Amino acid sequence: MNISVIGTGYVGLVTGTCFAEMGNSVICVDIDEKKVEDLKQGIIPIYEPGLEKMVLQNHENSTLNFTTDLKSALDGTDICFIAVGTPMGEDGSADLQYVLAVAEGIGENMSHHMYIIDKSTVPVGTADKVRAKVQETLDKRGSDLTFDVISNPEFLKEGAAVSDFMKPDRVVIGADNDGAFDMMRELYAPFTHSHERFVGMDIKSAEMTKYAANAMLATKISFMNEIANICERVGADVNQVRHGIGSDSRIGYSFIYPGCGYGGSCFPKDVQALAKTSKDYGYELKLLDAVEAVNYAQKRVVSDKVIKKFGEDLSGKTFAVWGLAFKPDTDDMREASATTIITELTKRGAKIKAYDPKAEHEARTHYLKGNESVEYVSSKYDALVDADAMLLVTEWKEFRAPDFDEMAKRLNNKVIFDGRNQYNRKRLEESGWEYFEIGV
């Protein structure tokens, strides 16, 4: 099938590349000329395991191409995915200006029937707005061309996006006619041939499904962090509690790991956007307001523990930070706990020696830009030299089983603040370490 994908960010690039991998002819469109030229040269703007190799191979095979020319892309395709950003506005709502600008561009440039598919995460009712914008633009042209608008929300986990797309748990499709459903079934058939994972529904329900899924997962995280905070006060061990409740098949183990809060491009934005949508319709989502409030506070738990031990004035103190990205296997620092923790410590006079396998560039150029109290190093052990404690913030695999003897040689004090509850408390304390974790 011939497919155009508008937007070459995280969702757009993964979507286009994975469709090309299955033999479709895909052209990705972006208004950023430099990004398009970089992609043509094999320079990938994001880190995602397995993506770079797949992009290079499919571009070499001419099944995946990149352009800034929307009209030429639409002329050669029947299926168009909208995969541009929907940044969070000041009031928590999703900003649809880029989605609607694309819709207008489609209306201006389409020359035959198009299947227009919302892949961006958008609030309920966005498909209606896209349909209205395309129709309005066609009317201005005096055109009687027809089109379908379809909702196909993405459920990609950063760090596992390629695998998630190639082997999806489900493919949610919102459409209003059998022809659109049939086309989407054919498009996704190579990804779902071994199991029936196609979930068809009306468009608004599909739009809501994306928000509801992320809100549910964020709720599980904040709930477990609340339990961790209670455990810490009453003398219980949240790690044992987690095993106790996770063994219940109705609950399961996914997303009940205590830590220093969730981040990324999805959970914070989607929770707030759903709450804002609810308020716009006269209903207050008290639960989601609490989920967000808990997460805001949880990002400060690690820095609060550091301050409690070392005092409010951290002048002359240096802390090693392992991990900057909001989760492992990505360079994404949007809403990352590391940004909050580092900011809380450095504004009290502390110096930071930070290491992350992939996110250093993001930290330097954006999220911690201008913070001269942060030094970036090339290995986890380099970060420990003359530091007063180590803070584990992102649970990269290379941090799971460090050499604690080597760590002790480099640190000024045998002190660990574990924001992800990765290590064995008993063994560390028997070896003379002070070990601070979440919920114990």
Residues with catalytic roles:
266
Beta bridge partners of 94: 88
**Residue that is written with structure tokens 């002359």 in the block:** 316
As given in the structure block, the two tokens for residue 427 are 């063994």
Beta bridge partners of 6: 29, 82
As given in the structure block, the two tokens for residue 83 are 């995969």
Report the distance separating Cα 130 and Cα 96, nearest Å: 10
**Residues whose CB is less than 8 angstroms from the CB of residue 204 and which lie 6 or more positions away in sequence, other chains included:** 124, 125, 127, 174
* Backbone torsions φ then ψ of 310, nearest 5 degrees: -100, -10
What's the one-letter identity of residue 32?
D
Asked if 7 and 30 touch (Cβ cutoff 8 Å), the reply is: yes
Helix or strand (DSSP H, E) at 117: strand 114-118
Helix or strand (DSSP H, E) at 66: strand 64-67
Q: Give which of 119, 165, 157 is closest to 17, Cα–Cα.
A: 165
